[in-house]
Amino acid sequence: MTTPDAGSAHRADGPIRQRAAALLAQMTLEEKIGQMSQVNGGESYIHDYLADGLRAGRVGSVLNEVDVDTVNELQRIAVEESRLGIPLLIGRDVIHGFRTVLPIPLGQAASWNPELVTRCARVAAREAAAAGVNWTFAPMIDIARDPRWGRIAESPGEDPYLASVLAVAHVRGFQGDDLGEPGSIAACAKHFAGYGAAESGRDYATANVPENELRNVYLPPFRAAVDAGVATLMTSFSEVDGVPATANEFLLRDLLRDEWGFEGVVVSDWDSIRQLSIHGLTPDDCESAFEAARAGVDMEMHGDAYLCHLAELVEEGVIDIEAVDEAVTRILTVKFRLGLFQNPYTDPGAFPPVADDEALATARLAAVQSAVLLKNDHGALPLEPARIGSLAVIGPLADAPHDQLGTWIFDGDEKLSVTPLQAIRELAGDRFEVHYVRAMETSRSRDTSGFDEAVAAAAEADATVLFLGEEAILSGEAHSRADIGLPGAQAELVARVRSTGKPVIAVILAGRPLTLSDIVEQVDAILYAWHPGTMAGPALADLLFGVESPSGKLPASFPRMVGQVPIHYNHKNTGKPPSPETVVHIDDIDPSAPQLSLGMTAFHLDAGYTPLFPFGHGLSYTTFDYQNIRTDVTEFAAGESVTVSVDVANTGDRPAGEVVQLYVRDLVGNVTRPVRELKGFRRLRLEPAERTSVSFVLRAADLAFYGRDMRLRTEPGEFHAWIGGSSVTELGTAFRLVPGA
């Protein structure tokens, strides 16, 4: 195909904004509104209504079309048969891979490795770009403190600092150094804002988030993405403070545009403009179009409120034409930055083949580094082939090529999947026997008819590896769960296998933190693999047999039971903080005792106040010793810094990776501050007996927070700092921030 010359406004010379302005000046109101409209495709076929819309300039973007020939034909019609020849944005949810599937984003967050996250996003972008996709609706950077919410699988977890670092990593991976370079696609930070705070973890539910909490917890990852140059941003389905995000002028204009200076495109979520009337904010689609346009939504995803009503709103003077022009300018600017005016067409032969060696190596490394060793009693792991005559591999997820890919993998190719069973058999070769029993048809099954065979296999084996968890379909959008324990009869399967008296290792594949209290004492080791993607098998085999040592750390706390939710490490102290001395268990209460306050602290009688596994937790096949935490100064002022250092040693007999974590507490603030906040982390690898010093530099700005006036501030005062391998480390020191001169 040849790219047409549609006029000087499309040429590569001159600043992009000027070129966009020159093109805008040629557009009719209907063509402008067309640029603000995204329609759904995805059938590898171009319906007449879509082709007619393209020719008339009524379409600015097409969603969900990934057949490259169809994409090229869509672009050809838009460029060669419309009046102004404006190319299309081709959008797709490329969440954690395209054909090659990487671990779910929550799993990638468990790697605590931003460089690796960037590589994962780059693999996804390159494969998607080869199909003609130039815009992904990722990263999702909603802070998620409720594992009942299905979309926690797409989230970076519960911590604003970790989420902010990974938001930048994703943006860099998708967009590269230049949006116009081959293999780069426009990223979209979503969902703005507070979506992860949906009531009861129910998808689409109301998010009741006070502004101070919004600014200090939920917004930092979005600010980091904006500062990193993210091209687009998507509104949330949920309402915040009584106003749905798609019509929230405070979020989209006051904060995003005016305060942060964001110049990219804001797109609605799927049909969320028309849904404003379902929320009860507006009486009809016309009012919905008005509210969204006034708030600052540039493009409507899969809906026709703009197409049907925006022109009349402009003509009646209800919406200023300047607002429309600003939106269209932003859309055109992204298209120019992507190089679409120079070459709207995709030549798949110009890209490396999908699932090439680099893609698979990245997927394998990500699956290795995202796995978290939660428990390992008596050195149950790693397994040693020389000491195993027979291994029982049991469970519904040991050989499930689709389910290991996880949620939101429209384009993932399960034929590329290497399952754990396949990889274990390959590793075993003729060194030991592998006896596989599925035991359950699905993770949800309550049929126990296969348990006798599983128990017999476990009894005859030297050790058993149980592959348990959730099928892919049980997490993700619109897949929230009220009970987040192991579904079906899995806990009973664990108990039956445990009765054999042989070592039992549980490998959990899931899209969220699960409540594991009913099995945690029934197994010798737990390796939490999330949904690890295409290369789950080789990665887990390497971990189980000690080729690699686990190094993942939890990006979200694991509750003991669902009634503890929300439970997160960076909670507030309250006026009555719990302690081991104040906690009373429900079984210890004297039934004849009078009603007492039980020490008047914040805990649950039946669960205490601690999670089953805390944020930042993750074991290794070696041990790491932290000593000599110190600061280079005891106090510093604005414009200066304090360096907090620690010595870390590998005291075991295996080389391994560790994530060193820095936490800080601001003891007194204009608003109350969390008991701990992650302020830095470093992934390192140490050989046996190797010791190193790790340092973190903190400046006054790193200690800033939003106060009662909703302004970012730093306050003089005393701070505590801790460094260790999880959020519960007790190795600490202190420093002071003093007033400047």
C-alpha span between 52 and 58 (Å, rounded): 9
C-alpha span between 725 and 619 (Å, rounded): 9
Closest CA to 93 of 248, 246, 234: 234
Catalytic residue check, 325: no
Chain-centre distance for alpha carbon 245: 20
Closest CA to 225 of 124, 102, 139, 154: 139
Q: What tokens were used for 131?
A: 């199909």
Q: What tokens were used for 25?
A: 């000046």
Question: Dihedrals φ, ψ of 119, to 5°?
Answer: -60, -40
* Element housing 108 (H / E): helix 105-110
Coil, helix or strand at residue 33: helix
Q: What tokens were used for 383?
A: 């397994």
Spell out a b/e string for 704-723, using b for 16 or more CB atoms within 10 Å of the CB, else e: ebbbeeeeeebbeeebebbb
Q: Which residues pair with 723 in a beta bridge?
A: 662
Residue for token pair 């899969």: 302
For 294-403, list the strands marked E by DSSP. Answer: 300-301, 372-376, 390-394
The catalytically annotated residue of 142, 159, 269, 524 is: 269
Number of Cβ within 10 Å of residue 435's Cβ equals 17
Spell out a b/e string for 4-18, using b for 16 or more CB atoms within 10 Å of the CB, else e: eebeebbeeeeebee
Residue for token pair 């590569």: 12
C-alpha span between 636 and 638 (Å, rounded): 7
Distances (CA, A) of 17 to 7, 146, 330: 16, 42, 9
C-alpha span between 544 and 526 (Å, rounded): 11
Catalytic residues: 269
